[in-house]
Structures are given as C-alpha cells and as structure tokens.
Amino acid sequence: MNQTLRQDAYAIAPDIVRPRLIERAKRLAPAVVVTLIVLLCLIDLDLDLDRLANWSEIAGRMVAGLLSPTPGDNLEEILAALIETMAMAIAGTVLAVSLALPLGIAGSRTVISHPLAHNGIRFVYDLLRAIPALIWAIIIIRAVGLGPVAGVFAIGLAEAPYIAKLFAEYLDNIDAKPRNALIASGASQFQAFRFAILPQILPQYVGLSLFFFELNVRAAAALGVVGAGGLGVMLEDRLGYAAFDEVAFMIILLLVIVAIVDMISSRLRQKIMGNDQISWG
C-alpha cells in the first residue's frame, strides 16, 4: 500500500490500521487456546508411530486387493448378506418409527403441557439418544444371540428417541387453525383430526421414516461388524482372512446400493413432502 495513503488512513482510523496490542491479543486468544488444546491432545495421545513403520507392506497388499474387486467364490453368500442388510434396514426403520410414534406424541408440548413433565420427557429422550446403535447391538446380541434380529432391535431402539424428538418438535409447531375452523363448522373431533391434523402430520412422518431408512442402510451394514447380521458380518470375516479383493467388491456393492436407495428415497420424499421438509437439526 502507498505510504502516504497509509498515513492518511492512520490519521482517520488509527485503531483499524494498527490495532492496539490488547485488541490483537483478544482477537487471537481463542485461536491460540484452541491450537494449544489440540496440540496437547495430540501429544498426549501417544500414537506410537514406531509401530506403524511396517504398515507400508500391508498397505501394498491392501491397495492391490482393493484395486481388483472380485466376489471370489462367495457371490451368492454376498448377495444374500446384502439382501439381509436391506431387510434389517427396512425392519429396523419400521420398528424405530413405530416406537417413535407414541414417544413423539408423549413428548409434544401440545399433549403433555406441564413444563416439568414435558422437559423431563425430553431429557430422557436426550439421554437415550446418546446411546449409539452399536452399543445397543452389543447388549441385544447377549439377549437374542448373533444375527439380524439383534441388528433390527439395535436400529429400532437407538433411533426411536431421535425420531421421537424430531416428531415431537414437529407436533409442537403444527397449525391449529384448520382444526379450529373444522370444529367451528360442526365437524366431530375425529373428523377434525382426520382432515385438519393428519394431513399436516402424515407427510412429515412418512418423510422422516424415509430419511431414517436411508441412514439405516448404512447402519445395518456397519452393525454386522459386531455380529448383528448382514453384509458387515461377511466384511469382517473376509477382512480377517485379509481377502481385500472380496472386501473391495462388497464395499463397492454397498456404495452402489446406498446410492440407489438414496436416489429413490429422496425422490419419494420430494413427492410426499414437497418443499415443506423438516430441517434435520
């Protein structure tokens, strides 16, 4: 910048051209603190990089395997596992949304309006929401044994409080005017529900279900890793034999299926909900 220009600018607004030291420190402080915290964490993590020294050999085999995907001799088994994963995702979603329906209604301010009870219920949902599906899966495997049933229950139990919360928030915000209008013009309670409340709720509920179905295809595949059925079981098994080429095949299959499901589901959601989509947190 031109020197005289700079001097002129300094004469007009000294604090902007050359901020005072305290101002500068104040502005930089959060960044410095965050950087320090991150560095401390990194040092304390004790990553043991010496042990990684021989990883390049494995990496070579891995990359070679991943670049030549093949179903091996297990094409039928892999396809069966994939179908099982899809079935788990569908059943898990159905379980989750059916559990979430009463939970969501109970969590709505319009149904239970006492602030203490309302906040209490929401707090319980928040606590339950904190348990990842994988941890549910491990507990449930103990009860029902290895297999897709555990995966279905894990998805259902882990997601129900999540969906319930979104659904309850939606119920809090529905428009009461159409219902009041129907009641005023002589409709019965049921008719008012059927023609004023349900049309507002149903598309959102179905849309939520579809959205979570998309997530659950991925979740179902991952849950297999701990033994809860589906593609993950095969994946973990083949990885144990270092059959990276078959792992690559399964991964590509999964990516394709997820992409197809996402496409169909988002089309359906667009059709059902239009542009009136819930913002997903």
Using CB under 8 A as the binding rule, the residues of this chain from 190 to 229 that contact other proteins are 198-199, 202-203, 206, 218-219, 221-222, 225-226, 229
The residues near 117 (Cβ < 8 Å, ≥ 6 apart) are none
How far apart CA 128 and CA 106 sit, in angstroms, is 15
The residues near 91 (Cβ < 8 Å, ≥ 6 apart) are 152
Quick check: 84 and 229 in contact, CB under 8 A? yes
Restricted to residues 119-138, the positions that interact with other proteins (CB under 8 A) are 126-127, 130-132, 134-135, 138
Restricted to residues 228-257, the positions that interact with other proteins (CB under 8 A) are 229, 232, 235-236, 239, 242, 247, 251, 254-255
Quick check: 228 and 135 in contact, CB under 8 A? no
The two three-digit tokens of residue 6, written as one number = 């700079």
Nearer to other proteins, 84 or 113 (CB): 84
- Choose among 238, 215, 213, 207: nearest CA to 81: 238
> Is residue 13 part of the contact set for other proteins (CB under 8 A)?
no
Contact region with other proteins (CB under 8 A), list: 47-55, 69-77, 105-113, 176-184: 47-55
The residue written with tokens 């428009």 in the block is 175
Restricted to residues 171-190, the positions that interact with other proteins (CB under 8 A) are none
Compute and round to an integer the Cα radius of gyration of the chain: 27
> Is residue 53 part of the contact set for other proteins (CB under 8 A)?
no
Cβ 24 to other proteins shortest distance, Å: 16
> Is residue 161 part of the contact set for other proteins (CB under 8 A)?
no
Cβ 176 to other proteins shortest distance, Å: 18
Helix 231-240 vs helix 75-106: crossing angle, to nearest 10: 130
Residue from 9, 87, 106, 187 touching other proteins (CB under 8 A): that is 87
Contact region with other proteins (CB under 8 A), list: 16-24, 142-150, 167-175, 185-193: 142-150
> Is residue 90 part of the contact set for other proteins (CB under 8 A)?
yes
Cβ 106 to other proteins shortest distance, Å: 21
Q: Is the dihedral of CA 231, 235, 238, 241 positive or negative?
A: negative
Cβ 83 to other proteins shortest distance, Å: 7
How far apart CA 31 and CA 39 sit, in angstroms, is 12
Residue from 17, 71, 72, 94 touching other proteins (CB under 8 A): that is 94
Number of residues that bind other proteins (CB under 8 A): 71
Cβ 152 to other proteins shortest distance, Å: 5
How far apart CA 12 and CA 30 sit, in angstroms, is 29
Quick check: 104 and 164 in contact, CB under 8 A? yes
Q: What is the per-residue DSSP string for 28-61?
A: HHHHHHHHHHHHHHHHHH---GGGGGGHHHHHHH
Contact region with other proteins (CB under 8 A), list: 12-20, 70-78, 85-93, 180-188: 85-93
> Is residue 38 part of the contact set for other proteins (CB under 8 A)?
yes
Residue from 22, 76, 142, 190 touching other proteins (CB under 8 A): that is 142
- Choose among 199, 219, 203: nearest CA to 95: 219
